[in-house]
Amino acid sequence: MEKDLIEYIAKSLVDDSAAVSVEETEGERGPVLQLRVAENDIGKVIGKYGRIAKALRTVLSASSGKSGKRYSLEILD
């Protein structure tokens, strides 16, 4: 569910929604969602001073509270 949520929000933010992909991997501290967007849309996902990236992580944290897993979000180039 968290993967779908992050993908939906990212597609709403960027111009090239076909280039958005989210993969779930296992990291050292738990599950990690890796978000990839088109190169010219990376600024739209990160935002000024990282505000949008922080908001995405906050929404992810709130959403994952019900499942008991603690997800982290990585925005990849």
pLDDT in tens, 16-52: 999 999 999 998 988 999 999 999 999 999 999 999 9
pLDDT, one tens digit per residue, over 11-26 is: 999 999 999 999 999 9
> Can you give the length of the chain in residues?
77
Give me 68's structure tokens. 């008991």
pTM of the model: 0.89
**Burial class for 67, CB neighbours closer than 10 Å (0-12, 13-18, 19+):** exposed
